[in-house]
Structure 1
Amino acid sequence: MTVPILKAALLSEATEEISTPILLVGPSLGTTARTLWGRAARILGARYRVVGWDLPGHGHSPRPAERFTMAELAEGVAGLVGGMREQGEWGGYPVFYAGDSLGGAVGLQLGLDYPDLFAGIGVICSAAKIGERQGWLDRAGTVAVQGTPTMIVGSGQRWFAPGFMEREPEVSSRLLHALSDTDRQGYAFCCEALADFDLRDRLGDISAPVVAVSGEFDTVTPYEDSWAIARSVQRGSAEWVPGAAHLVPVEAPERIAEILMRHFDRAVAESPAVVSVSAASPAGRLPGDPYDAGMAVRREVLGDAHVDRATAAIDEVTAEFQEMITRFAWGTIWTRPGLPRTTRSAITLTALIAHGHWEELAMHVRAALRNGVTRGEITEIILQSAIYCGVPSANSAFRVAQRVLNEVPPVE
């Protein structure tokens, strides 16, 4: 057993001088960082310098000579970070981590073995234990003898949501070609490392902020796995991405970028190192003030146009009320990690229906769509409300929802 040699490459430079943190991203088994993260990196590059590392025998990383464990793989990633630090390439800026599937599992291992290495961790379409041991060993044996092309059909079925390959043939083709080009020994050794990987009993020792993300159609690591991570680590939250399967960074790059930026912003805001009187914001608030986090979340959920209209209308009569709802409703409740935003939207819609707040309901139907709630799920929420809140309330709710949904074009 030995620490594998890993290679990393710059995927995107930060486009703003103030956006100097580093985001290190890790790939799924059979993919490269560039093919998996390239689309999301173009968006994330507005805030971070995005660097991707490749698994042994994948992409730029050389073929491994010896078998390795997940802990040794994580040690190799930690060595990349340490080397960049020593060379002065990353300065003293915060470093964040995000990985998909096997890359996400490595993120959990890093959080356990190197608790101070990353300011925040994104675990995407992954779990504390993925699959069954014998299944991984069987796959390793097949690939070692027959090569990675034998995995193309099965991986295509697991990786992508229904219809994605037809809508995005070039993108899916690049990923499947990367799989075909992967060294068979590197792939097999990764399978063997996954066979023995199980951190379910150790998640509580992970202290770095972790967001666990799952895709709607992911059959490999469903939402239950993300929720198990979120509720077990010391500081965890879970998110759900509609219309995606196992490779969320390529299937829903805008959504994963939004989730990661929000999560990492919150991780920094809650870090004791950045909350000091000398670091007060121009408005006189400390970086950790719930108002600042609340305004950020309020804009993400309701949209800039709505919030701009609301703030423009503030006068001496409404100023304290607007301050209160931003600080406590948005900054204290909506920022809590215990529920994904889709669930918070469902609860909010139900409460508004129960109390007959139809103007607010229209606003939150739009917000629910922004949060990833599907049109079909909005219908189900109102149907559920018909039983517990009354049919007349549901009838009014359907009229409001129908009007709003007719104004918003459906997602293709």
Structure 2
Amino acid sequence: MTVPRLVGTDVGGPADAPVLLLGPSLGTSADTLWSRAAQHLRAHLRVVAFDLPGHGRSPVGAPVTIADLAAGVLALADRLGADTFHYAGDSVGGCIGLQLLLDAPDRVRTATLLCTGASIGDAAGWRERAATVRAEGTTALLGGAVQRWFAPGFADRQPERAAALLAALRDTDAEGYAQVCDALAAFDVTARLPEIGAPVLAVAGAADVPTPPESLARIASGVRNRGLEVLDGVGHLAPAEAPTRVAELIAAHCGIPGGRPTTTDAVHDAGLAVRRAVLGDAHVDRAIAATTDLTADFQRMITEYAWGTIWTRPGLDRRSRSLITLTALVARGHHEELAMHLRAARRNGVTLDEIKELLMQTAIYCGVPDANTAFRIATRVLEEEQ
């Protein structure tokens, strides 16, 4: 057996907390796929995300099987001093999770398997893709990756996140990618699912093309101790497309109480993750880069109180919070903030028709001049977004 050295990124968390290992999808890195979900999880778990061979920080070695990759995960857990651990993995990361449950059932406390299968695709297709990548590199896959990975509209709503994932695919070592394709070609544990007794949560993306909900339902119906969740409007990379919901599901499956963060740093981390998800990385990075000694405390206060205390509350979804925020900004005449939150509303799934109806409503309850200005701002901002 080949035991690859899988490099893990320690995302943080209490040193004495249970370990959660996060497995990536083919062509992604731990950072690009898991960073946002991990920010929510590290308040209660010690979170470590690993890279596949030739991906992110992990080196390419000898050819591997899925069983070899599972052995590499166990070796990583040993280096962390974790006799047992929780596990979550997307796509091939989910396949590795199934193999771990079969090969080392006494070490896996729970497994959350996302957008994956007991087998994925067919052997001929994987070998053909491996040959293509060896000949042409991973750039040959970029053209079809948006349709294969993301739910319709995701790349338009979250261009920075989509671009980061595509860049990770482009930067993946061709031989490392091809080796994982070969491993998937030989992977099929369908007949062994009844052997798995550890708690398994199967999570599907309703818009996932490579591993549709039926693939996750097959896992859930095969193992003994299972649950199944289907995420609307989510494609193949659920941790990147719906990080907050995925983090909530993983935390609940790990037995973590659903309470809110209790330390100031945890509130700040949760707020920063939501702020990035709603306003976009580019905006937040600019705000952080512009921070001075004069504004640093104010920036931290906004992150903790607005984003970590209000936007993270469970009573309303983000789409509803966007609608409320837009109305308040029109009423108060905060035009610069209105432009910013119009972009945020689109990221949160608010449609153009809904924005129009909201502004029509403000004409009655806030005043026609306020609504007229808001329509002018919205026209400019939404044209820029197209």
TM-score range, shorter chain: 0.5 to 0.7
Helix, strand or coil at the partner of 1:11 = strand
- Pick aligned residue for 2:49 from 41, 48, 52: 52
* Equivalent residues in 2 for 1:269-288, closer than 5 Å: none
- Pick aligned residue for 1:108 from 91, 98, 116: 98
Partner of 1:78: 74
- Pick aligned residue for 1:225 from 215, 223, 226: 215
Are 2:195 and 1:205 equivalent residues in the alignment?
Answer: yes
Partners in 1 of 2:140 and 2:74 — Cα distance? 32
- Pick aligned residue for 1:165 from 155, 177, 182: 155
**Per-residue displacement from partner, 1:73-131 (whole Å, max 9, x unpaired)?**
1111111112221xxxx5x7x52000000001100000000001111001000000000
| Residues 227 and 238 in structure 1, CA contact (< 8 A), matched pair in contact too | yes
* Equivalent residues in 2 for 1:290-301, closer than 5 Å: none
| Residues 11 and 34 in structure 1, CA contact (< 8 A), matched pair in contact too | no
**Per-residue displacement from partner, 1:129-164 (whole Å, max 9, x unpaired)?**
000100000000000110001111212211111111
How much has 1:13 moved relative to structure 2? Answer: 2.3
Partners in 2 of 1:188 and 1:257 — Cα distance? 30
Partners in 1 of 2:5 and 2:222 — Cα distance? 31
**Per-residue displacement from partner, 1:282-310 (whole Å, max 9, x unpaired)?**
xxxxxxxxxxxxxx79x99xxxxxxxxxx
Unpaired runs of 5+ residues, structure 2, are 261-313, 318-347, 351-386
Partners in 2 of 1:11 and 1:174 — Cα distance? 18
Are 2:180 and 1:183 equivalent residues in the alignment?
Answer: no
Partners in 2 of 1:11 and 1:84 — Cα distance? 13
Partners in 2 of 1:48 and 1:34 — Cα distance? 17
- Pick aligned residue for 1:240 from 225, 230, 237: 230
How much has 1:7 moved relative to structure 2? Answer: 0.9
Partners in 2 of 1:195 and 1:95 — Cα distance? 28
Partners in 1 of 2:140 and 2:112 — Cα distance? 30
Partner of 1:24: 21
* Equivalent residues in 2 for 1:339-378, closer than 5 Å: none
How much has 1:411 moved relative to structure 2? Answer: 4.7
Partners in 1 of 2:99 and 2:233 — Cα distance? 28
Runs of 4 or more, structure 1, over 3 Å off, are none
Partner of 2:277: none
**Per-residue displacement from partner, 1:42-72 (whole Å, max 9, x unpaired)?**
11112211101100000110012x2111111
TM-score under structure 1 normalisation? Answer: 0.62
Read off the aligned partner of 2:71 and give its amino acid letter.
E
How much has 1:231 moved relative to structure 2? Answer: 1.4
Partner of 1:8: 8
Partners in 2 of 1:244 and 1:192 — Cα distance? 27
Partners in 1 of 2:172 and 2:191 — Cα distance? 32
Partners in 2 of 1:63 and 1:112 — Cα distance? 25
Read off the aligned partner of 2:27 and give its amino acid letter.
G
Partners in 2 of 1:55 and 1:227 — Cα distance? 26
Q: How many residues align?
A: 267
Read off the aligned partner of 1:84 and give its amino acid letter.
L
Read off the aligned partner of 2:215 and give its amino acid letter.
D
Partners in 1 of 2:11 and 2:207 — Cα distance? 27
The structure showing larger relative contact order (alpha-carbon pairs under 8 Å, at least 6 residues apart) is 2
Partners in 2 of 1:250 and 1:50 — Cα distance? 16
Partner of 1:378: none
Partners in 2 of 1:146 and 1:12 — Cα distance? 37
Helix, strand or coil at the partner of 1:71 = helix
TM-score under structure 2 normalisation? Answer: 0.66
Read off the aligned partner of 1:10 and give its amino acid letter.
D
Are 2:122 and 1:132 equivalent residues in the alignment?
Answer: yes
| Residues 148 and 184 in structure 1, CA contact (< 8 A), matched pair in contact too | yes
**Per-residue displacement from partner, 1:313-368 (whole Å, max 9, x unpaired)?**
xxxxxxxxxxxxxxxxxxxxxxxxxxxxxxxxxxxxxxxxxxxxxxxxxxxxxx9x
Partner of 2:65: 69
**Per-residue displacement from partner, 1:253-278 (whole Å, max 9, x unpaired)?**
11111111111118xxxxxxxxxxxx
Partners in 1 of 2:69 and 2:48 — Cα distance? 17
Partners in 2 of 1:154 and 1:3 — Cα distance? 32
| Residues 125 and 218 in structure 1, CA contact (< 8 A), matched pair in contact too | yes
Question: CA RMSD for the aligned pairs?
Answer: 2.2
- Pick aligned residue for 1:95 from 60, 85, 100: 85
Are 2:252 and 1:252 equivalent residues in the alignment?
Answer: no
Read off the aligned partner of 2:2 and give its amino acid letter.
T
